[in-house]
């Protein structure tokens, strides 16, 4: 069974063995508004926990995308680069950003579960 966790930077991460899929939350897309541009990390590159691993831009502004855990980028989602509006439509499923091969599962420990994240998102957007 896969485990989904959430970061304070509004990314979600789904872990399947050593493979993690990462995207931004529905709450993040609602704050950003219409997304019109997405930039993803290079396949094969290494990203560090809490470091930048992409960019999304709405009509209003650019925002960095952070990775909640460290690892090697093994796949990126070209669909969202070709049509960034997909991120608004389906942020937590088909519009994932990148997949990582992770080394240290314990980096997941500091992240929030769904319930904790929903509380966090509600408090911080109030």
Partner 1 sequence: MSIKKTSLNNLHIKYGAKLVEFAGYQMPIQYKYGIIQEHKYTRSHSGIFDVSHMGQLFISGGDDLTNELEKIFPADLKKLKTNQSKYSFLMNNKGGIQDDLIITKTSDGFLIILNAACKYNDYEVIKSKLDNQYKLNLDESLSLIALQGPEAKNVLNKVILGCDSLKFMNGNNYVYKNEKVYITRSGYTGEDGFEISIKNSDAETFVESLIENGSKLIGLGARDTLRMEAGLCLYGNDLDNDTSPIEANLKWAIPKSRIETEFVGSEVLKNQFQSGVKKLRVGIKPDSKVIARGNTKIYNDKNQEIGKVTSGTFGPSVEHPIAMGYVDNSYSTVNTKIFLEVRGKKIPANICNLPFYKKNYVKGEINV
Smallest distance, partner 1 to C-beta of residue 57, A? 5
Smallest distance, partner 1 to C-beta of residue 55, A? 7
Instruction: Determine the interface stretch with partner 1 among 20-28, 60-68, 95-103, 107-115 (rule: CB under 8 A).
Output: 60-68
| CB of 5 closer than 8 Å to CB of 67 | no
Is the CB of 55 or the CB of 116 nearer to partner 1?
55
Q: Which of residues 73-102 bind partner 1 (CB under 8 A)?
A: 81
Q: Exactly one of 9, 19, 57, 75 binds partner 1 (CB under 8 A); which one?
A: 57
- Rounded to whole angstroms, the Cα distance separating 15 from 113 reads 13
Instruction: Determine the interface stretch with partner 1 among 3-11, 50-58, 93-101, 106-114 (rule: CB under 8 A).
Output: 50-58
Smallest distance, partner 1 to C-beta of residue 95, A? 16
CB atoms closer than 10 angstroms to residue 20: 26
Helix (H) or strand (E) holding 119: helix 114-125
The verdict on 37 binding partner 1 (CB under 8 A) reads yes
Query: What values do phi and psi take at 58, rounded to 5?
Result: -100, 180
User: Which residues of the chain form contacts with partner 1 (CB under 8 A)?
Assistant: 33-34, 36-37, 39, 55, 57-62, 81
């Amino acid at each position: 069974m896969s485990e989904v966790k959430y970061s304070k930077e509004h990314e979600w991460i789904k872990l399947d063995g050593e493979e993690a899929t990462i995207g931004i939350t529905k709450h993040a897309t609602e704050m950003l508004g219409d997304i019109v541009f997405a930039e993803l990390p290079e396949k094969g590159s290494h990203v560090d926990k809490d470091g930048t691993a992409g960019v999304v831009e709405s009509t209003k502004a650019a925002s960095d995308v952070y990775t909640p855990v460290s690892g090697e980028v093994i796949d990126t989602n070209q669909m969202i680069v070709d049509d960034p509006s997909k991120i608004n439509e389906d942020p937590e499923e088909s519009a994932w950003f990148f997949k990582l091969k992770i080394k240290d599962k314990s980096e997941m420990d500091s992240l929030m579960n769904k319930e904790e994240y929903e509380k966090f998102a509600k408090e911080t957007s109030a």
